[in-house]
Chain A
Amino acid sequence: MGIRLLLYLSAILLGAFISYKGKISDKILDKLNIIQTLSLLFLLLIMGIKIGIDEKVIYSFFSIGFKAIIMSIFTVGFSILFVFIIRKLFIRKENEIES
């Protein structure tokens, strides 16, 4: 995990450094959103393939898929709710004062 984290951080920092120094032309920057979206959709397609070829995922989905969906809906739902409460209580006010 440590090496992975370092690699991800390096990729972000490298991108930030290059664009901060203005080494990327406006022409490329204009196309950045399209390239980014296409790369993202391609990556997600491959991630889907990885899930689809994994027999463990497909087999277990047919047996306990309903339970997994319920569990994930509640974990996602409560995570959103708690961040919403935190933002309302602590974060938003600070931003409003600043702006």
Chain B
Amino acid sequence: MKLSLNILISVGLGILLGYFVLPPSISGATDIVIDAGLMILLFFVGIDIGRHQDVFEKIKVIGFKILLIPFAIISGSLIGGIVGGVILDIPVKYASAVGSGMGWYTLSSILLSNHSTEISTLAFLSNVVREIIALITIPLVAKYIGKYEAIAPAGATAMDTSLPVIASSTDSEISIIAFITGVICTISVPIILPLILNL
């Protein structure tokens, strides 16, 4: 709960600073800081994994069933997108395409830009919002629902921006599973999204 609140304050404060105080010209600098910060945090995630040497044994017990987690997240994102689309009166094809972005907002909006500007913008913003929701809810989901479920909000971002939050909220076993899940979800976006658009 405390971590979620701190995350909400950090992201919220950042958005306000970016919108009201800082000039757009610092955009390049933020990219560098984010990349460097992410590398440091992933290094910390690695340190935590190295301390728990039984972690690979535990993952071996689960085996290939680990792959069911990205499968569940991809399916959940598509179905969730369709349900959201039904409520908002968005065609099934576009609604599932927005959902299949799984937090990778740049790619999903680029892939949709040739089809519809409105849907492309919606894909961009929905996936930005998904990333923010993921960062805030991961600690809550880990505490109140389950550690495996804490990977779900992250989708494709489970291998980068959300991974440090998952690591702080769960354990090293889940961190490794989250990274693998994030990689699979990320790879799936440029495959599934064009497939949906071609249906």
- The interface size of chain B toward A, counting residues with CB under 8 Å, comes to 99
| Identity of the chain B residue whose Cβ is nearest the Cβ of A20 in the assembled complex | B50
The minimal Cβ–Cβ distance linking B19 to chain A, given in whole angstroms, is 4
Interface size class of A (residues with CB under 8 A): 35 or more
Option from A42, A58, A86 in Cβ contact (under 8 Å) with B37: A42
Q: Is B83 an interface residue (CB 8 A)?
A: yes
| Identity of the chain A residue whose Cβ is nearest the Cβ of B72 in the assembled complex | A82
B1-29 to A contact mask, C-beta < 8 Å, 1/0: 00100110011111111111011101100
Q: Which of A55-75 contact B (CB under 8 A)?
A: 55-58, 60-61, 64-65, 67-75
Contact A47 B11, CB 8 Å, known A1-B186, A75-B126, A75-B130: yes
* Contact assessment for B37 and A49 in the assembled complex, using a CB-CB cutoff below 8 Å: no
* Contact assessment for A13 and B34 in the assembled complex, using a CB-CB cutoff below 8 Å: no
* Contact assessment for B126 and A91 in the assembled complex, using a CB-CB cutoff below 8 Å: no
CA distance A97 to B187 in the complex (A): 33
Apart from A43-B33, A79-B153, 20 more pairs, CB < 8 Å: A7-B39, A11-B39, A11-B40, A19-B49, A37-B6, A40-B7, A46-B14, A47-B14, A48-B14, A48-B17, A49-B26, A49-B30, A52-B19, A68-B126, A72-B129, A75-B81, A83-B149, A86-B69, A95-B62, A98-B58
| In the complex, the 4 A-B pairs of residues with the closest C-beta atoms, listed nearest first | A48-B14, A52-B18, A15-B46, A78-B80
